[in-house]
């Protein structure tokens, strides 16, 4: 009955991501970024006054920003792992 309560927090220094997973995630995100950028270029040649196109452009820009943020986070994680591995 003298059990210590377990902490509900996670020590981030104990979490590591497999390098292969980082590489696969990076490849996937780069691919998605290319697709989103191509879609946005297509929308640029479309009717600018169309509300559906305006909504699609906003959605694609939001997705693009999100993918770029994830890519940046993965790059930081890769650097941290490289430093921790040395």
Q: What are 13-34's pLDDT values in tens digits?
A: 545 668 889 899 999 999 999 9
Q: Which of 43, 44, 40 is nearest to 61 (CA)?
A: 40
User: Is the confidence at residue 8, as pLDDT, over 90?
Assistant: no
Q: What is the CA radius of gyration of the chain?
A: 20
H helix runs in 2-86, sequence order: 19-44, 51-85
Residue, of 84 and 70, whose pLDDT is higher: 70
pLDDT cut 90: percent of the chain above it: 53
CA 50 from chain center: how many Å?
Answer: 29
pTM for the structure as a whole: 0.73
- Domain residue extents for the chain: 19-85
Query: For position 19, what pLDDT does the model report?
Result: 83
**Average pLDDT of span 34-63:** 93
């Amino acid at each position: 009955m003298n059990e210590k309560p377990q902490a509900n927090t996670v020590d981030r220094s104990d979490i590591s991501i497999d390098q292969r997973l980082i590489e696969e995630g990076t490849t996937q995100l780069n691919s998605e970024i290319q697709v989103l950028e191509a879609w946005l270029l297509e929308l640029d040649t479309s009717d600018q006054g169309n509300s559906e196109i305006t909504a699609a452009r906003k959605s694609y820009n939001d997705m693009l920003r999100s993918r770029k943020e994830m890519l940046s986070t993965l790059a930081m994680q890769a650097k941290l792992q490289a430093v921790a591995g040395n």
